[in-house]
Structure 1
Amino acid sequence: MIDIAAPNPSLQIAVIGDVHDQWDEQDIAALQSLKVDLVLFVGDFGNESVDVVRSIASLPLPKAAIFGNHDAWYTATPWGRRKCPYDRQSEDWVQQQIDLLGPADVSYSKRDFPELGVTVIGGRPFSWGGSEWKYEAFYRDRYGVHSFEESLARMKAAIDAAAFDTLIFVGHCGPTGLGDAPESPCGRDWKPLGGDFGDPDFAAAIAYAQRLGKSVPLVTFGHMHHHLRHRQDRLRQRVSRDSADTLYLNVACVPRIVQTATTCAHNFSLVTLTKQQVQRSHLVWVDQTHTITSTEDLLAELSPQKPLQPLS
């Protein structure tokens, strides 16, 4: 039986988006220096990058993670299998990643944090996004899931099993409903332009939790990079908030490590959760001395917007 603690009045959360092999010991030291209570990873550690996942698994902080499409790059698709750099008959890098993360992997699952008074719920792992059910054999063989409906049922079971009424959702792709324009958090920014590339099963799971009366202060994800492919004059919209006061945060700031002649800066998205509400959200860059060299207030994007309705 879980010893349920009183909810922490203020939580500091770091969210790491779309690593793409850009992770090293400086990240571990920076997170410890930032004194965060919880670290969340939204996947795309690399193209089945077992060594990166091994390092992240060793992070000595409370954490939860989900896998992205690149984490099954040589396994889920026919074209990926043709390019596979290892013998798939004798090795399985996807399973190695899953085994390394162990209980930190919240794919189709949940992780309770009694010391923080929250439960992290994971969406569908290894997602490519969009309204089409893709790579049926992969999900059938790995998870026994054959459709969006069965995928949603797995997430609902995790929600029902949560020890806490405050839920944080982590997905690789965001939920359907945040892609009305190419520049939206989940909007398609490649040709043909437009189209919502969020996950409908993820959206339905969030809506289910909201209908149950759960507090859902934060839904975080990546996949759709902040730098747009079709235009260079602006960045993708990173945040939205619905009328249930749920903040939707895209953390895919890529590349997440920038090297110059004098410094090496790594980015993190920091979220302050106070009394079950997101009070602050910043994108920060931290250098090799663990100094924050740049800070961007992401909530400033919300000021001209009307709140969205809760996802349904």
Structure 2
Amino acid sequence: MTSQESQSNIVKIAVVGDIHDQWEIEDGIALKHLGVDLVLFVGDFGNESVEVVRAIASVNIPKAAVMGNHDAWYSATEWGRKKCPYDRTKEDWVQEQLDLLGSAHVGYSKLDFPQWNITVVGGRPFTWGGHEWRFANICKERYGVTDLAESAQRIFASVKSAACDTIIFLGHNGPSGLGDRPEDPCGKDWHPIGGDFGDPDLAEAISLTITAGKQIALVTFGHMHHSLRYTKTELRKPIFTSPEGIVYLNAASVPRIVEGENGKLRNFSLVSLEAGEVTQAALVWVGEDFQVVKEEVFFERSANVS
């Protein structure tokens, strides 16, 4: 297949929402059955769950990942260090996770996929969300980033070094600017209810990218679970489309593995990309026979009428 032919085809992307220790060997098999080209992991694998990350690192499909706040749960805060189940003077589970992922970890970095003309750019690793920077010390210690303005520039630096024309932003939390209602993609759904809990540095990096004339197809993230804390009568809005046509997808359908009438069901968000544009985004549930048993289409781009 020539590069021109490959770029004219649809690229099928799976986005795996917050895992929180729910990852099994069947998940890798399900991804193969779904026929995805690329897998994006939004982080929160577990509370510094090295073995979960080890299993994910072994998935034999092109992939990119960012780390969530839970992935530094015992290292980034004083209360977490007090509950740490291992000797931090002898082990560093955060670094073990990063080492296992290697170049697939794109926090403050990027990964080029020239076969599809896509560069995946990672947001700030270990983000907790919101305008108050929680977990700030771990970014200062490991990445030398000391404030949100520096963080935005660090993310944008990866955009400037992208080898491909189409940018996908991969964050643990989404950017600010997607709404301040509790049911919005990054809205605050705990007391006091309401407010935009998105990351301002990611929003700034996206704004800089648009100003630079780069094509952004997708911004995908998790952290803010679809199930809301203040009500069970509705779910969080998983999708937002900007005036520029950028699709913002929250993939955190948690728990991502549930017991159904006929056994376990596991969810993945699936995104179709064609000529640098998202044509469809959906949440699918895969059954024990690895067939899709339920699909909820969140976004579908109407065909252009000439």
Give the TM-score band, short-chain normalised: over 0.9
Is 1:110–1:122's contact at 8 Å kept on the other side of the alignment?
yes
1:74 matches 2:74: yes
1:189 Cα deviation from its structure 2 partner: 0.2
User: Per-residue CA shift, 1:43-93, capped at 9, x if unaligned?
Assistant: 000000000000000000010000000000001011101110110010000
Structure 1: stretches of 5+ with no match in the other structure: 304-312
Residue in 1 aligned with 2:231? 231
Residue in 1 aligned with 2:175? 175
Residue in 2 aligned with 1:251? 251
- Looking at structure 1, the residues matched to 134 and 80 of structure 2 have their Cα atoms a distance apart, in angstroms, of 14
What aligned pairs does 1:112-131 form with structure 2 within 5 A after superposition?
112-131=112-131
Is 1:174–1:222's contact at 8 Å kept on the other side of the alignment?
yes
1:139 Cα deviation from its structure 2 partner: 1.5
Residue in 2 aligned with 1:161? 161
Is 1:125–1:172's contact at 8 Å kept on the other side of the alignment?
yes
Residue in 2 aligned with 1:308? none
- In the superposition, the TM-score normalised over structure 2's length comes to 0.95
1:152 Cα deviation from its structure 2 partner: 1.2
Residue in 2 aligned with 1:31? 31
Structure 2: stretches of 5+ with no match in the other structure: none
Residue in 1 aligned with 2:53? 53
- In the superposition, the TM-score normalised over structure 1's length comes to 0.93
1:5 Cα deviation from its structure 2 partner: 4.1
Is 1:179–1:188's contact at 8 Å kept on the other side of the alignment?
no
- Kindly provide the amino acid, as one letter, of the partner of residue 230 in structure 1: Y
Is 2:127–2:135's contact at 8 Å kept on the other side of the alignment?
no
Aligned-residue RMSD, C-alpha: 1.5
Residue in 2 aligned with 1:210? 210
- Looking at structure 2, the residues matched to 288 and 203 of structure 1 have their Cα atoms a distance apart, in angstroms, of 39
1:8 Cα deviation from its structure 2 partner: 4.4
Give the 4+ runs in structure 1 shifted more than 2 A: 4-9, 133-137
1:195 Cα deviation from its structure 2 partner: 1.2
1:142 matches 2:142: yes
Residue in 1 aligned with 2:100? 100
- Kindly provide the amino acid, as one letter, of the partner of residue 202 in structure 2: F
Residue in 1 aligned with 2:44? 44
- Looking at structure 2, the residues matched to 233 and 264 of structure 1 have their Cα atoms a distance apart, in angstroms, of 24
Of 273-282 and 239-248, more deviation after overlay is shown by 273-282
Is 1:8–1:117's contact at 8 Å kept on the other side of the alignment?
no
- Kindly provide the amino acid, as one letter, of the partner of residue 71 in structure 2: D
- Kindly provide the amino acid, as one letter, of the partner of residue 153 in structure 2: A
- Looking at structure 1, the residues matched to 266 and 256 of structure 2 have their Cα atoms a distance apart, in angstroms, of 6
1:136 Cα deviation from its structure 2 partner: 3.0
How many pairs does the alignment contain? 299
3-state SS of the aligned residue for 1:298?
strand
- Looking at structure 1, the residues matched to 157 and 260 of structure 2 have their Cα atoms a distance apart, in angstroms, of 47
